[in-house]
Structure 1
Amino acid sequence: MKLTQQQLEAHLWGAANILRGKTAGQDYKNYILSLMFYKRLCDQWENEADEAIAEQERQQGRLFTDAEKAVFRARGAHRFNIPKGCRWGDVREASVNLGEVLTSAMWAVADANSELRGVFTVDWNQPAPDGSGRPLIPNEVVHALVQHFNTHDLSNASVPPDILGRAYEYLIKQFADDAGAKAGEFFTPPEVVDTLVRCLEPQPGDTLYDPTCGSGGMLVHAADYLRECGHHATAAQYFGQEMNWGNAAIGKINSVLHGLEAQIAAGASTITDPSFRDNLGKPRKFSLVLANFPFSDEFWWLKPELQTDDKKKKDRLKKEVFSKEGYKDPFGRFGRGTAFKAPPAGYGDYAFILHILASLTDAGRAGIVCPQGVLFRGQPEVEEETGEFDADGNPKIKRRKADDEHLIRKALLEARLIDAVISLPLNVFYGAGVPACLLLLNKQRPPERHDQVLLVYAARHYRELSNKNELRPQDVMRMLVHVQAYGDAARVPALVAQHSQRIREQISAREHDEVERLEAESADWAERLDKLGPQIADTLAKLAKLTVKSEQTKTKKALDMLQAQRDRAAAKIGERDEKIAEARRRAEDDRRDVDQVGAELVALYGDPDELLKQARVVGMAEIAENEYNLNIPRYVDTFEPEPRVGVKDALSGLYAAEAALADADQELSKLLKAVGYAE
């Protein structure tokens, strides 16, 4: 039976519910994702064997015996090798020490396939921390998970790769919602990724690199964009590095499921140990870089294994890697002998930015998520009064050196590498409460843009959710039109038409997916409700015929239980219907807003004063006058005026407030009299 994407998502999230709370923290996501992938590999291995046997039988005009099938199955051609004794059936048949059996099977599969090294990082047989020798995840829980996954075939015969890939991304998103602040380590909101990918517009032949790739979402979205443009995902090459082994494993699985054939290196810091290097040991060059690095990493200069709580050890290591000129970078990305100062020890943002710049080809481009501090932190060189006076009574002056971050930003701007900056709404990232922006770098900018920088203020437009803010499709459209028009009003109508059509289709597709998902998640309740109706009717009919009191009491008790189950099921279906109605209302609002935003953008580019409130192309001379400070409010009118209130409305409000005050005075007097404090 073919599974829909929504049925698969409900099935996978059901597995997560079985394991939640039975591992340390958010580790359960790695267990579920790796188990799903292992089941997929095994099911597809069996499917490939079945298809090959069926083809041989067709060619030979006869049916194979079971013995012949077993021989052919073992030696047939497979995408991945699943060793004998390590297949899903072997795990399913185990009854004791299931965690040990499962772990051994997974690791054997990884050893048999070089492409899968590092994919299975969890130990299902890990002992509990109390020293009892019992496994952290009890045998019965592992058994329940195996039985849960056993209910559906995950091979191509039941689940096409594109559906499985989208379901996997959905699962990662659900884990991110569940993890809250910690999700920022492995997940970037897809709306932000989509904006960056569409700003860079990957093309066949590109090499794409994410130096802090987490679960690989940016690489996957870039591949999706290529498919959308009519190309195969492998028309480009994909590379990523991720320090966290567990997150890298998720990223590798994501890559395999989406058919990217990405190279993802794990376990080392991109700054201290970049994995992709050229023949000279320098960072390898890529045509496109997408990144969301850890914001303001205080110990960016330390290898992961040296990041301990020992302050003395850190201070000693700091002296070893920093000189008077700054960080001693062995890869020539910044510091002595380069065009850029070394970043300060306490803020790693420019370390990542300069690594990205060093990883770009001569015509390379980058889209980076950054804290807005990179736009303005650091002061230029200034002269200050010391508070002392010379012999003639004149104040003594001392020269204060420019801060390193100011000098790096100035060098980037003077080299004409910064193409555009987009400020984002607050709280759109998991666990990052600081204001963020998108930084677009281009090493070969068009001549007409050479001495300009586009600044976009996109912080006003978002959807407010209960625990974070979300960029809507129409908010993404605003940013894309500003970036792709780059101040050219003549291009805006065509861009609005292009994006409006695509985004309306995207909104409708998301609406359909959400409704289907809600219906799939509540399918068991709906089935239960359908069955309970006839059962209740039969019980009522039976009760009406009974004359013996004891039988009546027994039947009435059964009826009460059935009615309670019906009420609970009906409540669940009611909740589903409310959510479906809300999803449809939200989609309709978004579709309407797309049209309104499109009309607003066209009008905006005909009114320079209004355009100044959202975007502006700024010349380098003005940026130099502002001492290379890129804080967007310096250039774009971000002031939010108070809403105008008419005199009549103001007087009405005043009269209402005075009346309310008089009523409160009277009530207070009554209370005081009641307790004897007033006459």
Structure 2
Amino acid sequence: MSEDQKKQLEQQLWNIANTLRGKMDADEFRDYILGFIFYKYLAEKMDIYANTMLKEGGDKLKFEEIDESTPEGKEYIEAISHEALETLGYFLKPSELFSQIAKRGNSDEEGVSNFIIEDLQKILTNIQLSTMGTESEEDFDNLFEDMDLNSTKLGKTPEARNEVISKVLSHLDKIDFELESTDSDILGDAYEYLIGQFASGAGKKAGEFYTPQAVSSVLAKLVTTGKTRLKSVYDPTCGSGSLLLRVAKEVKQVNNFYGQELNRTTYNLARMNMILHDVHYRKFDIKQDDVLEHPQHIDERFEAIVANPPFSAKWSANALFTSDDRFSQYGKLAPKSKADYAFVQHMIHHLAENGTMAIVLPHGALFRGGAEGHIRQYLIEDRNYLDAVIGLPANIFYGTSIPTCIMVFKKCKENPDNILFIDASEHYEKVKTQNQLRDKDIDKIISTYQERTEIDKYSYVASLDEVAENDYNLNIPRYVDTFEEEDPIDIDAVAEELVLTDKEMEAIDKEIAGFCNELGIKSPF
């Protein structure tokens, strides 16, 4: 598929999404359209897999032609179901395929009911039920729970809701997802595009599920520097899973993806996103819970860790955590009102000895004192884990305009004697109301990081002694001098210009006084 075709697919899907907009919030009609796309994807994968099985078995019969009511049909269904659950992780009957439901919903054939809401809701439930007791059960559990087809937001009456849903399915049915193509990420990329579009319209809520692609790209390139394959990648606040998938684009292979997400709806989105990007259910492990209070992968260590946690979120800072392996060695917990360093400590705990982690934080994390200053000093002075600090432009995240930074940590630093500082805060393009990192801005950050070059007013390599002299305050202007000297002012020339201006004003005053005299009115001068 060419770039133009890819953009055409993205636009088609966005146009269909807007069919559902109505009076819904962006995040509400997002859940419906992404759910329908996901259902179509699962159905088409099922159809392709089943037809391949039938062909290999010497059958000329197509999967959708199987009569489910006959003994022979039931034998076919049982055999295909067994294999599909093992390979795909789920199963759909021929009558449950997307194309069958879409056609029925838009049928005007006499004697055929086009009311499909009840059957469609059952099918979405059956997808989950098909996995019960299998290895993929957790990955498909309640995936469609945010799609209430009987919601009055879709229409006041069942008939109105049926009409809207049938229309959306019909539009989607006409699109060829080209799943048999070797370039299987086309649909995944289109799905990512939609998530990004919804994020741009979701305001403050967007930060809960989406990291702008340019920032994701920077984080992914940082943690994959010098590597072509990764055993594992982890995101403790994974949102829609986009950041995990972005890391995979930077290397030839990622063996396993791990993540945790607090929000249930976003957790569903992350699992759908993984499957749509053709990540096998055995290769990802996404959990739902509060990662600081109830971590789900506590014994795992990961080669690459990325995160864009909620900025300065509140957490319990319970005294019991002082004996938690993630926090105990530091002597202090991050404050209740700002969990930024709690996320850092959590990620450090999970970082493999040969791993790299990159986390987005508010600028305050670089210089705030108290417990945060204590933890920051420990990470640098005692552990020497901090590898780089990168300042980002303000207003590049959805829902907040604050300036942010990226902190890069390694347990085994190639450059143990120093910390690299990069100030990329003035390198961006303004697009409408949002600032965006351009490809050249990303390339400059990454090349500077990889080569550890010092560039005037952009980057600086600080020794550990220098950082210690600054009391472990990492505020970037302490290290990268971005001061621009203003052009000298010629005082004599300014004075001469003022004299000339006074003479011109005097002449104009006399001219106005003459006009007033001619008109017989009082002069203001």
Q: TM-score scaled by structure 2?
A: 0.83
1:214-268 alpha-carbon deviations (Å, 9 max, x no partner):
1111111111111xxxx3x4x4211011111221222112211222335343431
Instruction: Pick one of 97, 104, 118 that aligns with 2:122.
Output: 104
Q: Would the aligned equivalents of 2:235 and 2:244 in 1 still touch at CA under 8 Å?
A: yes
Please state how far the C-alpha of 1:66 moved relative to its aligned partner: 9.5
- 2:428 corresponds in structure 1 to 462
Which stretch shows the higher mean deviation, 67-76 or 142-151? 67-76
- Match of 2:334, SS state, is coil
Q: Would the aligned equivalents of 1:371 and 1:434 in 2 still touch at CA under 8 Å?
A: yes
Please state how far the C-alpha of 1:191 moved relative to its aligned partner: 1.5
2:291 maps to amino acid = T
- Match of 2:354, SS state, is strand
Q: How has the CA–CA distance of structure 1 residues 141 and 409 changed in structure 2, closer, same or farther, with 3 Å as cutoff?
A: same
In the alignment, does 2:491 pair up with 1:625? no
In the alignment, does 2:485 pair up with 1:641? yes
In the alignment, does 2:172 pair up with 1:149? yes
Q: Would the aligned equivalents of 1:129 and 1:136 in 2 still touch at CA under 8 Å?
A: no
Please state how far the C-alpha of 1:170 moved relative to its aligned partner: 1.3
Cα distance in 2 for partners of 1:675, 1:292 equals 75
How well do the aligned residues superpose, as a CA RMSD in angstroms? 3.6
- 1:438 corresponds in structure 2 to 406
Q: How has the CA–CA distance of structure 1 residues 653 and 455 changed in structure 2, closer, same or farther, with 3 Å as cutoff?
A: farther
Cα distance in 1 for partners of 2:372, 2:141 equals 39
Cα distance in 2 for partners of 1:172, 1:137 equals 27
Please state how far the C-alpha of 1:209 moved relative to its aligned partner: 0.3
Please state how far the C-alpha of 1:368 moved relative to its aligned partner: 0.7
Q: How has the CA–CA distance of structure 1 residues 155 and 636 changed in structure 2, closer, same or farther, with 3 Å as cutoff?
A: closer
Cα distance in 2 for partners of 1:642, 1:105 equals 69
Q: How has the CA–CA distance of structure 1 residues 462 and 678 changed in structure 2, closer, same or farther, with 3 Å as cutoff?
A: same
Aligned positions of 1:167-178 closer than 5 A: 167-178=190-201
Cα distance in 2 for partners of 1:267, 1:668 equals 79
In the alignment, does 2:310 pair up with 1:294? yes
Please state how far the C-alpha of 1:651 moved relative to its aligned partner: 8.5
- 1:550 corresponds in structure 2 to none
Q: Would the aligned equivalents of 1:208 and 1:287 in 2 still touch at CA under 8 Å?
A: yes
- Match of 1:295, SS state, is coil
- Match of 1:363, SS state, is strand
Cα distance in 1 for partners of 2:173, 2:183 equals 18
Cα distance in 2 for partners of 1:129, 1:64 equals 41
Please state how far the C-alpha of 1:121 moved relative to its aligned partner: 2.9
- 2:91 corresponds in structure 1 to 81
Which stretch shows the higher mean deviation, 113-122 or 657-666? 657-666
Q: Would the aligned equivalents of 1:85 and 1:105 in 2 still touch at CA under 8 Å?
A: no
2:372 maps to amino acid = E
Instruction: Pick one of 108, 116, 121 that aligns with 2:140.
Output: 116
1:467-519 alpha-carbon deviations (Å, 9 max, x no partner):
111111111111112111124xxxxxxxxxxxxxxxxxxxxxxxxxxxxxxxx
In the alignment, does 2:349 pair up with 1:358? yes
Q: How has the CA–CA distance of structure 1 residues 288 and 671 changed in structure 2, closer, same or farther, with 3 Å as cutoff?
A: farther
- 2:298 corresponds in structure 1 to 277
Instruction: Pick one of 196, 202, 209 that aligns with 2:234.
Output: 209
- 2:325 corresponds in structure 1 to 332
Q: Would the aligned equivalents of 1:4 and 1:163 in 2 still touch at CA under 8 Å?
A: no
Cα distance in 1 for partners of 2:239, 2:206 equals 10
Q: Would the aligned equivalents of 1:40 and 1:155 in 2 still touch at CA under 8 Å?
A: no
Cα distance in 2 for partners of 1:25, 1:138 equals 18
- 2:457 corresponds in structure 1 to 613
Q: How has the CA–CA distance of structure 1 residues 628 and 663 changed in structure 2, closer, same or farther, with 3 Å as cutoff?
A: farther
Q: Would the aligned equivalents of 1:333 and 1:358 in 2 still touch at CA under 8 Å?
A: yes
In the alignment, does 2:273 pair up with 1:254? yes
- 1:91 corresponds in structure 2 to 101
2:272 maps to amino acid = I
Relative to its length, the structure with more helix (as a share) is 1
Which stretch shows the higher mean deviation, 647-656 or 252-261? 647-656
- 1:140 corresponds in structure 2 to 163
In the alignment, does 2:451 pair up with 1:485? yes
Q: Would the aligned equivalents of 2:421 and 2:461 in 1 still touch at CA under 8 Å?
A: yes
Q: Would the aligned equivalents of 1:425 and 1:462 in 2 still touch at CA under 8 Å?
A: yes
Cα distance in 1 for partners of 2:506, 2:277 equals 69
Please state how far the C-alpha of 1:133 moved relative to its aligned partner: 8.2
- 2:70 corresponds in structure 1 to none
1:101 maps to amino acid = D
Cα distance in 1 for partners of 2:195, 2:165 equals 21
1:104 maps to amino acid = K
1:120-142 alpha-carbon deviations (Å, 9 max, x no partner):
23233344489x98569833221
Q: How has the CA–CA distance of structure 1 residues 621 and 107 changed in structure 2, closer, same or farther, with 3 Å as cutoff?
A: same
- 2:375 corresponds in structure 1 to 408
Instruction: Pick one of 239, 264, 275 that aligns with 1:245.
Output: 264
Q: Would the aligned equivalents of 1:47 and 1:155 in 2 still touch at CA under 8 Å?
A: no
- 1:32 corresponds in structure 2 to 33
- Match of 1:138, SS state, is helix
- Match of 1:187, SS state, is coil
Q: How many residue pairs align between the two structures? A: 490
Cα distance in 2 for partners of 1:109, 1:670 equals 93
Q: TM-score scaled by structure 1?
A: 0.65
Cα distance in 1 for partners of 2:510, 2:10 equals 61
1:501-545 alpha-carbon deviations (Å, 9 max, x no partner):
xxxxxxxxxxxxxxxxxxxxxxxxxxxxxxxxxxxxxxxxxxxxx
Structure 2: gaps (5+ residues): 68-72, 106-112, 132-136
Aligned positions of 1:360-439 closer than 5 A: 360-378=351-369, 403-414=370-381, 415-439=383-407
Please state how far the C-alpha of 1:416 moved relative to its aligned partner: 0.4
Cα distance in 2 for partners of 1:266, 1:366 equals 20
Q: Would the aligned equivalents of 2:462 and 2:479 in 1 still touch at CA under 8 Å?
A: yes
Q: Would the aligned equivalents of 1:453 and 1:619 in 2 still touch at CA under 8 Å?
A: yes
Which stretch shows the higher mean deviation, 416-425 or 242-251? 242-251
Cα distance in 1 for partners of 2:219, 2:410 equals 13
